[in-house]
Structure 1
Amino acid sequence: MNDALATFLQECRRRVASHLEVGPAYPNALEDICAFALGDTGKRIRPVLAITAAAAVSDNAASVSQPAAALELIHTYSLIHDDLPAMDDDDMRRGRPSLHKAFDEATAILVGDGLQARAFELIADAPDLSAEQKVRMIKVLAEASGFAGMVGGQYIDIQATNSDMSLEDLKAMHEMKTGALIRASLALGGIAANASEEQLAALDSYGRHIGLAFQVVDDILDVEGDSATLGKTAGKDHEANKPTYVRLLGLEGAKAEARNLLEQALAALEGFGDSADHLRELARYIVERDR
């Protein structure tokens, strides 16, 4: 990652940080637990993508900071529930104990539910956005989070353990489980900046390809990474006999697929000028990351 991108990422994360701080919207009994869940240990790629998409469209975009923070709340809730014993049963997340290990399962479920609701509250209360923009954002985020997105993808993923799955079915699953929220991140940024339908379509194509690339790289890191660097249990998917890109394509084939998806993501941005350079750099970072 070059210095310019690192500085930009830091600024994006600073912009959403205040909206992720635990305050009056959280009950006192859960304040410390929510603060633990929202600790600044994640990459926060989704809020960064939303801010970067808005900047690619306009340098006078309406405030996207709260919708960007809403994306992180949805993502965090999904990780909390994903780690539960009934799902992936993982004891480690972002280099710390999973929420159900640090506290208990009931608390993890309730905190996840609360973060999900809080996300939509943030969008509804976002300043400098029209009612039409807010409604459109809420619809996009709800679809990406629900049966057509993360929830549906997670269900398919659970059912796929110890089963054969074609490459096309694997892609379809990950477009729901991982890709839907990444595409929503680009959409929310575009909506905040009043992007044209053509610009939104280009951002969606970029998001679709980079969302799949993100998952391909996750599968590669599950094989090549270590738990300390990843911040979660390495080799978990392999041990659980889950279908992955590495399992279907081999390690080198998966790496080639990630590079191909990167090229397609970059091609989707051809209609944008220099304003989309950070999106281009983010795509490269997502594919070249080590965690």
Structure 2
Amino acid sequence: MVTAVRTEFDFAAYLRAARESVELALDGSLGTERPTSLSEAMRYSLLAGGKRLRPILCLAACELAGGNVAAAMPTAVALEMIHTMSLIHDDLPAMDNDDLRRGRPTNHKVYGEATAILAGDALLTRAFEIVALRSPGVSPECILKVIGELSLAAGAPGLVGGQMVDLESEGKEVNLDTLEYIHLHKTGALLSACVICGGLIGDASDELLQALRNYARGIGLAFQIIDDILDVTASSDVLGKTAGKDLVADKTTYPKLLGLKASRERAEQLVAEAKQGLDPWRDRAAPLLALADYITGRDR
């Protein structure tokens, strides 16, 4: 009788390979838009590096559901485009007014505010084009569901609505419920869409889709709590963006309401609960479980 040897999941190797695949797909996702100033501005932010956590979550969820990861790559690219749009617009003077993103000047600092707005708009609309027209092997019914998830995540029910409440809350006393609403919509909605869209493309069961929704809610809120903590504890050089912006803008954050220790404990609790929900699929969920731990363990 031969006993199977269980090998440990090499998350570092997985993350490195997944990022390389995503970077290659992103580089090939943009055409020769005219004028070239628009194309340059789009590429400047989309190809600026970063963790690529959102597209990797989409691919990992598809893999967990037993789907073809290659079929999910166009949607993964689309999700990163929507995320990049949100960063470009977030950094504008009328919003968070930031000069640094991913370790270099923000889009509007390089290309001007008007071009930055249009580059974000172009990335947002290109995202839907890629899903609708460049997803070979994905059924029309599935594409329709994915587009619905992306629309909800990117619009007023998701990150736009969360950003609006965030702006309206600056300089005001905000309770924990409102802060959680902001985080679940401004950040969590798109993270949730990443996981759900991957599951849809992988033809996940209703039971698995619900587990993925719960998982995504937990890691989405934990991700933003860690962001709040890092804004206080990390330097701009480490973060690749301006540290201390929340304090300057007088924003309510988890550390402000709960303190650093309790905030980190809350993030760790959310991640533990998110992972626990995937227990029935644990034998295939190693990437998603490791990604959840990565969120609370990151330093940028």
TM-score using structure 1 length: 0.96
Structural mapping, 1:218-233, within 5 Å = 218-233=227-242
1:162 counterpart (171, 180, 200): 171
1:145 counterpart (134, 137, 154): 154
In structure 1, distance between residues paired with 2:77 and 2:171: 36
The answer as to whether partners of 2:22 and 2:52 remain within 8 angstroms in 1 is no
User: What is the match of residue 23 of structure 2?
Assistant: 17
In structure 2, distance between residues paired with 1:3 and 1:217: 24
Structural mapping, 1:226-241, within 5 Å = 226-241=235-250
Measured after TM superposition, the shift of residue 173 of structure 1 is 1.4
Matched pairs, number:
290
User: What is the match of residue 217 of structure 2?
Assistant: 208
User: What is the match of residue 116 of structure 1?
Assistant: 124
Q: Deviations over 1:235-280 (max 9, x none)?
A: 1001111010000001111111111111111111112132101111
The answer as to whether partners of 1:175 and 1:211 remain within 8 angstroms in 2 is yes
The answer as to whether partners of 2:184 and 2:221 remain within 8 angstroms in 1 is yes
Closer, same or farther: CA 62–13 of 1 in aligned 2, 3 Å = closer
Q: Deviations over 1:12-54 (max 9, x none)?
A: 2233323322643532422222221112421110000000111
1:172 counterpart (178, 181, 186): 181
Closer, same or farther: CA 100–261 of 1 in aligned 2, 3 Å = same
What runs of 5+ residues in structure 1 fail to find an aligned partner? Answer: none
The aligned amino acid for 2:95 is: M
Closer, same or farther: CA 4–75 of 1 in aligned 2, 3 Å = same
Measured after TM superposition, the shift of residue 5 of structure 1 is 1.2
In structure 2, distance between residues paired with 1:136 and 1:224: 40
In structure 2, distance between residues paired with 1:3 and 1:99: 37
Structural mapping, 1:204-283, within 5 Å = 204-283=213-292
The aligned amino acid for 2:99 is: D
User: What is the match of residue 133 of structure 1?
Assistant: 142
Q: Deviations over 1:68-111 (max 9, x none)?
A: 01000000000000000000000000001000001100000000
Q: Does 1:43 align with 2:46?
A: no
The answer as to whether partners of 1:47 and 1:68 remain within 8 angstroms in 2 is yes
User: What is the match of residue 106 of structure 1?
Assistant: 114
The answer as to whether partners of 2:231 and 2:244 remain within 8 angstroms in 1 is yes
Closer, same or farther: CA 194–74 of 1 in aligned 2, 3 Å = same
Higher deviation after alignment, 174-183 or 260-269: 260-269
Closer, same or farther: CA 238–187 of 1 in aligned 2, 3 Å = same
1:5 counterpart (6, 11, 16): 11
In structure 1, distance between residues paired with 2:66 and 2:205: 11
User: What is the match of residue 84 of structure 2?
Assistant: 76
Structural mapping, 1:78-93, within 5 Å = 78-93=86-101
The answer as to whether partners of 1:51 and 1:68 remain within 8 angstroms in 2 is yes
Q: Deviations over 1:88-136 (max 9, x none)?
A: 0000000010000011000000000000000001101211100001010
The answer as to whether partners of 1:154 and 1:177 remain within 8 angstroms in 2 is yes
Measured after TM superposition, the shift of residue 172 of structure 1 is 1.2
Q: Does 1:58 align with 2:66?
A: yes
Closer, same or farther: CA 163–181 of 1 in aligned 2, 3 Å = same
User: What is the match of residue 34 of structure 2?
Assistant: 27
What runs of 5+ residues in structure 2 fail to find an aligned partner? Answer: 1-7
Higher deviation after alignment, 269-278 or 109-118: 269-278
